[in-house]
């Protein structure tokens, strides 16, 4: 209901979501031409983790994925993380600009269509209940709901985060894996996802540890394919 309310009170395509300049009604994603051109949409991503591949790569898989084992089928990200995207995501997550979930979902939906990804259910990355109380909303659930309105796939908000793993961004990949072990659970009676293909939704893909840990418990429940879509990701740094 809150989402419908936001749809109603926020008239779309009037101002650019980045620079706030007025835009014409048929601009894509509520962005002015300048801001649209500034975004680095990921056209060539690693076939496994979706991180942008630079010209340095001869094959379709990044160095990280050659040695790293993700259990999900494929992850995709829409844009490269930079200052503009940082501002956008920050105002979405911490500035209560929940209407941005619509624009993010639009961009994600186009990416999924472009890559020919099909799935049965949408599964948002959960927040711990303490953090949810503090923020007032789970940004991944908001995006998932908007995506569901566009592609008519059902959202299953079925993963539970049992620990408040704050400050994850300051940890190394190894430390993250250790910290996130057994943090996520799924209702034992959940049987809708058995042998189905699912799409995990989150805002940012950093090391992929969170979505990989969630993928493990989904596989334990008999899920078939697991796709991941996030709005933004950074380049691998070597
Ligand atoms: Zn703009
Ligand atoms: Zn990769």
Task: Note the pLDDT tens digit of each residue in 86-124.
Answer: 999 999 988 888 999 999 999 999 999 999 999 999 999
Q: Evaluate whether residue 161 is within a structural domain.
A: yes
Q: 14 alpha carbon to ligand 2 midpoint, in Å? A: 37
Report which bound ligand comes closest to the CA of 16: 1
Q: Evaluate whether residue 32 is within a structural domain.
A: no
Q: 205 alpha carbon to ligand 2 midpoint, in Å? A: 11
Q: 178 alpha carbon to ligand 2 midpoint, in Å? A: 21
Can you give the pLDDT at residue 11? 60
Q: 178 alpha carbon to ligand 1 midpoint, in Å? A: 41
Q: 19 alpha carbon to ligand 2 midpoint, in Å? A: 32
pLDDT tens for each residue of 176-227: 778 778 899 998 788 899 999 999 999 999 989 999 999 999 999 999 999 9
Identify residues whose C-beta is under 5 A from ligand 1, the ion: 16, 18-19, 32, 35
Q: Evaluate whether residue 3 is within a structural domain.
A: no
List, in sequence order, every beta strand (DSSP E) within 184-225: 184-186, 198-205
Cα separation, 126 vs 228, in Å, equals: 14
Q: Give the number of domains in the chain.
A: 1
| Whether residue 80 has pLDDT greater than 80 | yes
Q: Evaluate whether residue 20 is within a structural domain.
A: no
Q: 201 alpha carbon to ligand 2 midpoint, in Å? A: 18
> CATH number, domain at 63?
3.40.50.2020
What domain range includes position 105?
42-233
Report which bound ligand comes closest to the CA of 38: 1
Q: Evaluate whether residue 6 is within a structural domain.
A: no
Identify residues whose C-beta is under 5 A from ligand 2, the ion: 46, 48-49, 62, 65
**Average pLDDT, integer, range 50-60:** 84
Contact 203, 104 (CB under 8 A): yes
Give 221's strand partners: none
Q: 96 alpha carbon to ligand 1 midpoint, in Å? A: 20
| Whether residue 55 has pLDDT greater than 80 | no
Q: Evaluate whether residue 16 is within a structural domain.
A: no
Q: Which helix (H) or strand (E) holds 151?
A: helix 139-151
pLDDT band with cut points at 50, 70 and 90 for residue 163: confident
Report which bound ligand comes closest to the CA of 60: 2
Tell me which of 44 and 146 has the higher pLDDT: 146
Q: Evaluate whether residue 208 is within a structural domain.
A: yes
Q: Evaluate whether residue 184 is within a structural domain.
A: yes
- SS3 label, residue 140: helix
Angle 89-92-98 (CA atoms, 0-180°, nearest 5)?
150
Report which bound ligand comes closest to the CA of 21: 1
Cα separation, 185 vs 81, in Å, equals: 29
Contact 227, 199 (CB under 8 A): yes
Q: 61 alpha carbon to ligand 2 midpoint, in Å? A: 5
């Amino acid at each position: 209901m809150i989402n419908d309310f936001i749809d109603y009170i926020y008239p779309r395509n009037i101002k650019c979501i980045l620079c706030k300049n007025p835009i014409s009604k048929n601009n894509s994603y509520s962005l002015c031409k300048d801001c649209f051109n500034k975004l680095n949409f990921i056209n060539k991503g690693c076939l496994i983790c979706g991180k942008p591949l630079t010209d340095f790569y001869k094959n379709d898989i990044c160095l990280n994925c050659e040695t790293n084992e993700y259990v999900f089928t494929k992850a995709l990200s829409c844009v490269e993380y930079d200052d503009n995207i940082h501002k956008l995501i920050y105002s979405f997550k911490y500035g209560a600009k929940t209407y941005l979930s619509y624009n993010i979902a639009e961009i994600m939906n186009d990416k999924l269509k472009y890559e020919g990804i099909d799935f049965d259910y949408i599964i948002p990355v959960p927040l711990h209940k303490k953090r949810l109380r503090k923020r007032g909303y789970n940004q991944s659930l908001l995006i998932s709901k908007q995506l569901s309105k566009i592609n008519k796939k059902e959202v299953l908000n079925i993963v539970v985060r049992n620990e408040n793993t704050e400050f994850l961004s300051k940890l190394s990949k190894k430390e993250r894996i250790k910290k996130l072990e057994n943090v996520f659970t799924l209702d034992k009676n959940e049987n809708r996802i058995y042998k189905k293909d699912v799409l995990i939704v989150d805002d940012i893909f950093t090391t992929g540890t969170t979505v990989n840990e969630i993928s493990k418990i989904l596989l334990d429940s008999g899920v078939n394919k697991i796709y991941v879509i996030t709005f933004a990701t950074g380049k691998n740094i070597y």
